[in-house]
């Protein structure tokens, strides 16, 4: 079996979906993608594990990275794929059609259809996006081969229903620790109740007004939320500690360090432990190449670009100083759903927009 | 081996301690107690599992119940017992000397020393006090043989350092449930944060002023405390539920039902689930027999009776309508300690006070 990159988008999407590639089992699909790209003589093809990178060397003076992951969440009796009718027109149905074999199909079709792009291109197809961050194939490439994924701008083909979504918020988690002193609850006046003490921490969260921040012309909406609380050791003991886990989603204009300082200041008087952190990504829509893509998409769909609120792999480019946008077929709310399906029109719009932009 | 109930209190206490009887392994000590009491011709001896009951039938018109548990918490290299010197005089050292072989020794010595008490007496020695409530031997007797433990007043020989501690507070636990609506924390505005909602519940706890209540002349101090809080399912999800576990310790003038109504009203607007409940026990110090014991103890020690704040097995008598007090040798703060030890003077004071009272 081989992939035919010159097939129509529906055929190519379905062919990719019909090779199951749940995270950790991407070998077969990586081999197929590797083989298909190797058949295009104008691309240098590189390989690291189950990640495949292919790039032009046309001395264009600027380079665009086009990336997508090859893995999916587990199949839920939704393969093989089907072409179905719907009220909104034909859709490709099945696991991966949204997240994100549809986007991968668009990128692979571009590789075959655009041998002489106006910018040098690097296609990146990687493994293990749907699992723990430390297994992420793009993260591995960034760490091992930063030159393979370097460029002036990146487009990640994650589902956005054909809209251009720029950058992403950063995210960090802290534990806010409220101390107490244990005592038997029959003599509670001998103790200090840490859970009661947490009332002040929750009060500050309730009173907090998250910002909306304009970054490169897109508005990012921040959020500060308790995502967990725990305290208490037994039904007859005054709790000697209460821990509130807080998740801060911060606009990409703020660094991880600045974000942690902000949260630490908010919880002044308490121990604040950083448990994990990931930077946001600026959309870079103030740069000409991104503005050009935004104009093409707006021309095709009538829709302006918008900020990506959730953290995505675009942020992995941020560490390399590469602004990045999300742009791909399929409604993201259907990602991971049993009824996952992507309109054929989305596949077409994404392909046409990117082809127009890359050949302009 | 047999127990000699006519031995001095130190010898009897040490003999009882040197028969290990960790909860669930009380057979040997129950057999020894059973055998010793059976040798006293004026007592009817009854047996249920590892609980032993012995009682007089002197037609005195009133009956006093004297009770103690035979089990201990696990031994911690603190057996066999020792007679040691201390700055405060000689002490019996070792597991169980405080909780509560010392008290059991006092009661067994009384059984041998007071063949013709002024009230009919029922001695109750039971198993499994130190473990889950549903294994409690006194609870089993109350359920199976309420007539074995009936009387006009009960004295539980739990450690009180020779002070008379009357009745006990009741206790109940509720779960106060704060609902929310889950959402991805990157789009927190689509959800309702249940942990943030719990701020109001904690605020009510912080603002609550517990009562001090005079019951039969003793002052009971109430307490209302969160003993646990939990909420949150993952680091990127707005919590859809937060549960605060609240323990209410209530004066014995309030019934379990009244206590639950009180807590439900306090958390009006929230679901309040009752998880467990145990009644308090009135001290009954307004009754002549209890007042008599209080007067004897005050005469010997100079100390007035005080309220027992913590829940104890005296409350099991409450359900039978029997007022009850705690009175026994040993500092309760040393119960379960590796360095558990009881002053010999405590053993003597308790024995003398009870003998004087029971023969008056």
Interval B299-311: pLDDT, tens: 999 989 999 888 8
Chain B contact for A245 (CB, 8 A cutoff): yes
Cβ atoms of A103 and A328 closer than 8 Å: yes
- Which residues in chain A are closer than 8 Å to B184, comparing Cβ atoms? 310
* CA distance, residue B210 to nearest chain A CA (Å): 10
Distance of residue A267 Cα from the nearest chain B Cα, in angstroms? 15
Q: Measure A38 CA to nearest chain B CA, in Å.
A: 39
The topology under which CATH files domain A9-168+281-359 is Aminopeptidase (3.40.630)
* Nearest Cα residue in chain B from A250: B186
Interface test with A, best of B175, B190, B197, B225 (most A CBs within 10 A): B225
Residues within 8 A of B (CB atoms), A 264-323 only? 276, 309-311
What's the pLDDT tens digit per position in A15-67? Answer: 999 999 999 999 999 999 999 999 999 999 999 999 999 999 999 999 999 99
Of residues B246, B238, B229, B141, the one with CA closest to residue B193: B238
Interface test with A, best of B133, B170, B180, B186 (most A CBs within 10 A): B186
Question: B203 at the A interface (CB within 8 A)?
Answer: yes
Mean pLDDT computed over A234-263: 95
**Nearest residue in A to B184, CA atom:** A310
Question: Which residue out of A196, A200, A238, A281 would a mutagenesis test of the B interface target, given it has the greatest number of B Cβ atoms within 10 Å?
Answer: A196
pLDDT (mean) for A311-315: 88
Asked if A200 and A194 count as a contact pair (C-beta separation under 8 A), the reply is no
Whether residue A31 lies in the annotated active site: no
Give residue A233's pLDDT. Answer: 87
Residues of A in contact with B246 (CB under 8 A): none
In this prediction, residue A284 carries a pLDDT of 83
Q: Residue A45's closest CA among A127, A155, A98, A121? A: A121
How far apart CA A222 and CA A206 sit, in angstroms, is 14
By the CB < 8 Å criterion, does A78 face chain B?
no
Please answer yes or no on whether B227 and A230 come within 8 Å at the CB atom.
no
Is the Cβ of B169 closer than 8 Å to some Cβ of chain A? yes
Per-residue confidence band for A310, with pLDDT thresholds at 50, 70 and 90: confident
- State whether B232 and A242 contact (CB < 8 Å): no
Reply yes or no on whether A147 is catalytic. Answer: no
Report whether A74 contacts A300 (CB < 8 A): no
Mean pLDDT of chain B: 95
A251 reaches B (C-beta below 8 A) = no
Q: Across chain B, which distance is largest between two alpha carbons, in Å?
A: 80
- A185 and B CB contact within 8 Å: yes
CATH class of B170-278: alpha beta
Q: Fill in the DSSP letter of residue B312.
A: -
- Structure-block tokens of residue B215: 């019951």
- Taking an 8 Å cut-off on Cβ atoms, the answer to whether B203 and A203 are in contact is yes
- Domain(s) of CATH 3.40.630.10: residues in chain A: 9-168+281-359
**CA–CA min distance B249, chain A (Å):** 6
Place of tokens 């909406």: A221
Answer yes or no: do B196 and A205 touch at CB < 8 A: yes
The whole-angstrom separation of Cα A310 and Cα B184 is 9
* Interchain CB contact of B228 with A (< 8 Å): yes
Nearest chain A residue to B312 by CA distance is A186
pLDDT in the model for residue B123:
98
Is A185 within 8 Å of B229 when comparing Cβ atoms? no
* Residue in A186, A234, A242 closest to B310 by CB: A186
* Percentage above 70 pLDDT, chain A: 100
State the smallest CA–CA distance between residue A67 and chain B in angstroms: 22
pLDDT band, very low/low/confident/very high, at A323 (cuts 50, 70, 90):
confident
* A65-79 mean pLDDT: 95
Give the global pTM: 0.81
Question: Strand, coil or helix: what is B204?
Answer: helix
**Per-residue model confidence (pLDDT) at position A321:** 84
Q: Which of B196, B209, B310, B335 to mutate to test the interface with A (most CBs of A within 10 A)?
A: B196
* Cα atoms in the 13 Å half-sphere on the side-chain side of B127: 22
From the list B71, B130, B152, B313, the catalytic residue is: B71
CB contact under 8 A, A221 and B249: no
Residue B322 predicted with pLDDT over 80: yes
By the 8 A CB rule, do A154 and A322 touch? yes
Contact between B231 and A229 using a beta-carbon 8 Å cutoff: yes
What pLDDT score was predicted for residue A71? 97
Q: How far is B13 from chain A (nearest CA, A)?
A: 28
Per residue in B112-164, pLDDT (tens digit) is 999 999 999 999 999 999 888 889 999 999 999 999 999 999 999 999 999 99
How are beta strands B212-215 and B218-221 bridged, if at all? antiparallel
**Closest residue, chain A, to B169 (C-alpha):** A186
State the residue for tokens 């190519």: A12
The pLDDT of residue B289: 84
State the average pLDDT for chain A.
95
- Selection from B285, B255, B276 nearest residue B167 by Cα: B285
State the span(s) of chain B assigned CATH 3.30.70.360: 170-278
Chain B residues in contact with A133 (beta carbon < 8 A): none
Give the pair of three-digit tokens for residue B194.
């249940």
pLDDT at A1 over 80: no
Inform me whether the pLDDT recorded for B319 exceeds 80. no
Q: How confident is the model at residue A333 (pLDDT cuts 50, 70, 90)?
A: confident
Residue B99 corresponds to which tokens in the numbers above?
């909780």
> Which residues are within 8 A (CB) of A305 and not within 5 positions of it... i.e. 6 or more apart?
A163, A164, A165, A166, A217, A218, A283, A285, A294, A297, A298, A325
Q: Which of A26, A71, A99, A127 is catalytic?
A: A71
Q: How big is the A-B interface in CB pairs under 8 Å?
A: 150
* A62-71, A218-227, B114-123, B319-328: range with lowest mean pLDDT: B319-328
Give the pLDDT band (50/70/90) at residue A309. confident
- Tell me the shortest Cα–Cα distance from A297 to chain B, in angstroms: 24
Distance CA A195, CA A242 (A): 5
Q: Would you state the pLDDT for residue B131?
A: 84
What's the pLDDT score for residue B290? 87
Chain A hits for B185, CB-CB cut-off 8 Å, are 171, 223, 225, 227, 247, 249
Q: pLDDT grade, residue B284 (50/70/90)?
A: confident
């Amino acid at each position: 079996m081989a992939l035919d990159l010159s097939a129509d988008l529906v055929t190519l999407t379905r062919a990719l979906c019909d090779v199951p590639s749940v995270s950790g089992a991407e070998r077969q699909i990586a081999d197929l993608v590797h083989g298909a790209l190797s058949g295009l003589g104008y691309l240098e093809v590189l390989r690291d594990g189950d990640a495949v990178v292919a790039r032009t060397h046309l001395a264009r003076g600027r380079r665009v990275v086009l990336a997508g992951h090859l893995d999916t969440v587990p199949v839920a009796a939704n393969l093989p794929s089907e072409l179905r009718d719907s009220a909104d027109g034909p859709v490709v149905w099945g696991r991966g059609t949204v997240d994100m074999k549809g986007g991968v199909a668009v990128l692979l079709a571009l590789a075959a259809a655009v041998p002489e792009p106006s910018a040098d291109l690097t296609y990146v197809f990687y493994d293990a996006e749907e699992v723990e961050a430390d297994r992420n194939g793009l993260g591995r490439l960034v760490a091992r081969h930063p030159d393979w994924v370097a460029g002036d701008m990146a487009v990640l083909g994650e589902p956005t229903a054909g809209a251009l979504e720029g950058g992403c918020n950063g995210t960090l988690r802290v534990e806010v620790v409220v101390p107490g002193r244990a005592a038997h609850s029959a003599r509670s006046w001998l103790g200090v109740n840490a859970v009661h003490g947490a009332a002040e921490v929750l009060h500050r969260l309730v009173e907090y007004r998250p910002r909306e921040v304009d970054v490169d012309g897109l508005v990012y909406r921040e959020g500060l939320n308790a995502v967990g609380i725990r305290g208490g050791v037994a039904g007859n003991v005054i709790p000697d500690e209460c821990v509130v886990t807080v998740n801060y989603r911060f606009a990409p204009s703020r660094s991880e360090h600045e974000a942690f300082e902000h949260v630490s200041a908010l919880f002044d008087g308490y121990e604040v432990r950083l448990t994990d952190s990931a930077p946001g990504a600026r959309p870079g829509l103030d740069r000409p190449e991104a503005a050009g893509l935004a104009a093409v998409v707006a021309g095709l769909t009538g829709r302006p670009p918008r900020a990506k609120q959730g953290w995505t792999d675009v942020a992995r480019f941020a560490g390399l100083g590469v602004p990045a946008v999300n742009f791909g077929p399929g409604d993201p709310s259907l990602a991971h759903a049993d009824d996952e399906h992507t309109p054929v029109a989305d596949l077409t719009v994404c392909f046409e927009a990117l082809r127009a932009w890359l050949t302009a």
